[in-house]
Amino acid sequence: MVTQSDLALLDLPERQLDVMLGDALTAEEFGKRDYSDIERQAVARRWLTANLGRIRSAICGPALHAVLRSAEAEKRNLLFAAVADALIAGFQGLPVPVAVLAARLVHYGLDDLCGPATVGEGVGKADGLDGP
């Protein structure tokens, strides 16, 4: 279930979402050191790029097709919830907060991730999540 605080993530800039993802990815490192925001962003982007195939498989299916085609400003919350639900169902052992990742993917652009003409086939950008 998506909460109001989850929806607030949609208003954060991508770099802040990357910092939050980086925090989650480095949280349990043995002898954890303090990472700068730039380092946490880099950790998040490396993880996102390395897991792009799994992310596509989890969210670029037919269930998201109708939402993608009607993702106007008012429907952004529905899109966010659909992405979060798809990640929960299709990406086992996710080491980052689902809501933060869902917001980051909405920022990135699901047409870019899934491919506008091929939604449901898991095809889209292959070069990582450095923005459209």
Give pLDDT tens digits along the chain (132 positions): 678 888 899 999 999 999 999 999 998 776 667 889 999 999 999 999 999 988 988 888 776 666 656 556 557 888 888 899 999 988 888 899 999 999 999 888 877 888 754 444 433 344 455 544
DSSP 8-state code for residue 11:
G
**101: its two tokens:** 């990742």
CB burial of residue 55 (10 Å; 0-12, 13-18, 19+)? buried
- Provide the residue ranges of all domains of the chain, joining segments of one domain with +: 4-27+36-114
Say what the pTM is.
0.72
